[in-house]
Amino acid sequence: MNPISHVAIEAPAREKPRRQWLVYVVLGMVFGIVLVKSEVLSWFRIQEMFRFHAFHMYGIIGSALAVAAGSLAMLEHYRITALDGEPIGLPAKEMGRGYRYWIGGTIFGLGWALTGACPGPLFALIGSGVTVMSLAVVGAIAGTWLYGYLRPMLPH
Amino acid sequence: MEWEWVFQPWPWFVAGPIIGLFVPALLLAGNKPFGIASNLRHLCSAVAPGRVEFFRYDWRARGGWNLSFLCGIVLGAFVAVTWMGSADVAISARTREALTTLGLHDLTGMAPRELFGWPAVLTVKGFVSIVVGGVLVGFGAAYAGGCTSGHAITGLADRQLPSLLAVAGFFAGGLAATHWILPLVFLW
């Protein structure tokens, strides 16, 4: 076998995952910056939202949703593929009996208001200097593990 | 200065659309669904899968991209508070009043120090806010199969009915914790 053709075939395969890794880190950084600059990661903003005292959080979630829905419609309409040519699609959430969504959702909501953070902001808060949130992250990982353990017994 | 806005808090009509663009950006980058809570599952799978079937999968292959995204979030938040200016959160006067009535004295910073400082962990209200809240976030997001990003933004934008149920739950739980549980916790 010719060793040169070997190199030519293997090189791109080795390089691709590394480059992708960086793309997601950079995208994550933009998200982290937005969470700080829009104050979405602030416990105070979440309190304000659940007390209906300001439009700020509703404006953010509402406009994010509108832009996301519009973008999805465009991607679908023009049949745009991912950069590597793969067809784009979001996994469908299975309805089942629906229990998991409203029960799980309500439990999540309790935690959202108590910590003042959903999972993204929970991690962003550590980066922003509220280091005690690392304990909340440990709690969230423990909570997820508990769900995995109890899953066969829970209604879905 | 033209760049002055960078150092000010960003209004909702700037931040919201940027957040919405993560849905198409991640799909274009590699057909990935925007949703942060999956990372908690990946972390369980990486750290302590045990004999739990829910965590027995190749977390590097399925979650590597999302864990990279998560590291980016932490870095980005650090960059933002370090180099992009920071001010006290400008919440409404009514909220300030309500929180003062609740029993908070210091309304500065991203989160109140009376609840989210290291010494607060050993108080009832601090422990409930940090640790109990964290466990509920993790358990609830895993049970519901998504969090704010996965259901309220990605799922609703994709017109998935289960996500609407989940988001209704998010708000029901949030209202209950804000108006019923928090006042009780502050009695200690």
Give me the pLDDT at residue B40, please: 97
Answer whether residue A132 is part of any domain. yes
Give tens-digit pLDDT for B107-161: 999 999 999 999 999 999 999 999 999 999 999 999 999 999 999 999 999 999 9
ipTM metric: 0.95
Are residues B75 and B98 located together in one domain of the fold? no
| Closest alpha carbon to A58 in A40, A42, A44, A70 | A40
Distance of alpha carbon A71 from alpha carbon A69, whole angstroms: 5
Give me the pLDDT at residue B116, please: 96
| Closest alpha carbon to A86 in B18, B160, B57, B26 | B26
Answer whether residue A78 is part of any domain. no
Which chain A residues have a beta carbon less than 8 Å from that of B90?
39
More confident residue, A9 or B186: B186
Are residues B68 and B141 located together in one domain of the fold? no
A interface mutation test: which of B3, B4, B6, B12 has the most A CBs within 10 A? B12
- How many structural domains compose chain A? 1
Segment A17-46 shows an average pLDDT of 92
Nearest CA in chain A to B119: A132
Are residues B171 and B112 located together in one domain of the fold? yes
Which chain B residues have a beta carbon less than 8 Å from that of A26?
72
Give tens-digit pLDDT for A130-147: 999 999 999 999 999 999
Answer whether residue A125 is part of any domain. yes
Q: Is a pLDDT exceeding 90 seen at residue A3?
A: no
Specify whether the CB–CB gap between A140 and B131 falls below 8 A: no
Nearest to B129 among A32, A62, A114 (CB): A114
Q: Is a pLDDT exceeding 50 seen at residue A75?
A: yes
Q: Is a pLDDT exceeding 60 seen at residue A15?
A: no
B59 touches chain A (CB under 8 A): no
Are residues B126 and B177 located together in one domain of the fold? yes
Where is A109: in which H helix or E strand?
helix A99-115
Give me the pLDDT at residue B13, please: 97
Give me the pLDDT at residue B73, please: 97
User: How many angstroms away from the CA of A48 is the closest CA of chain B?
Assistant: 6
Q: Residue A88 has which token pair?
A: 């784009």
Q: Is a pLDDT exceeding 90 seen at residue A18?
A: no
Give me the pLDDT at residue B75, please: 98
Which chain B residues have a beta carbon less than 8 Å from that of A111?
132-140, 173, 177
Give tens-digit pLDDT for B53-108: 999 999 999 999 999 999 999 999 999 999 998 777 889 999 999 999 999 999 99
Are residues B54 and B1 located together in one domain of the fold? yes
Q: Which of the four pLDDT bands, split at 50, 70 and 90, describes residue B11? A: very high
Decide which of B87, B115, B131 is a domain's last residue: B87
User: How many angstroms away from the CA of A16 is the closest CA of chain B?
Assistant: 12
Query: Contact B23/A68, CB-based, under 8 Å?
Result: yes
Give the domain range for residue B168: 93-188
Q: Is a pLDDT exceeding 50 seen at residue B32?
A: yes
Give the domain range for residue A147: 94-156
Answer whether residue A8 is part of any domain. no
Decide which of B53, B87, B121 is a domain's last residue: B87
Distance of alpha carbon A56 from alpha carbon B17, whole angstroms: 13
Are residues B165 and B127 located together in one domain of the fold? yes
Q: Is a pLDDT exceeding 90 seen at residue A53?
A: yes
Are residues B26 and B114 located together in one domain of the fold? no
Answer whether residue A71 is part of any domain. no
Give the end-to-end CA distance of chain B in Å, rounded to a whole number: 48
Q: Is a pLDDT exceeding 80 seen at residue A6?
A: no
Nearest to A23 among B20, B29, B50 (CB): B29
Query: Contact B23/A110, CB-based, under 8 Å?
Result: no
Answer whether residue A12 is part of any domain. no
What percentage of chain A reaches a pLDDT higher than 90? 79
Query: Contact B134/A137, CB-based, under 8 Å?
Result: yes
- How many structural domains compose chain B? 2
Give me the pLDDT at residue A20, please: 80
Q: Is a pLDDT exceeding 50 seen at residue B27?
A: yes
Are residues B70 and B106 located together in one domain of the fold? no
B7 touches chain A (CB under 8 A): no
Q: Residue A29 has which token pair?
A: 């950084």
Are residues B40 and B124 located together in one domain of the fold? no
Are residues B122 and B143 located together in one domain of the fold? yes
Among the listed ranges A23-37, B3-17, B28-42, B68-82, which one has the minimum average pLDDT value?
B3-17
Q: Which of the four pLDDT bands, split at 50, 70 and 90, describes residue A14? A: very low
- What HEC string does chain A produce? CCHHHHHHHHHHHHHHHHHHHHHHHHHHHHHHHHHHHCCCCCHHHHHHHHCCCCCHHHHHHHHHHHHHHHHHHHHHHCCCECCCCCECCCCCCCCCCCHHHHHHHHHHHHHHHHHCCCHHHHHHHHHCCCCCHHHHHHHHHHHHHHHHHHHHHCCC
Answer whether residue A48 is part of any domain. no
Are residues B13 and B77 located together in one domain of the fold? yes
B148 touches chain A (CB under 8 A): yes
Are residues B109 and B83 located together in one domain of the fold? no
Answer whether residue A137 is part of any domain. yes
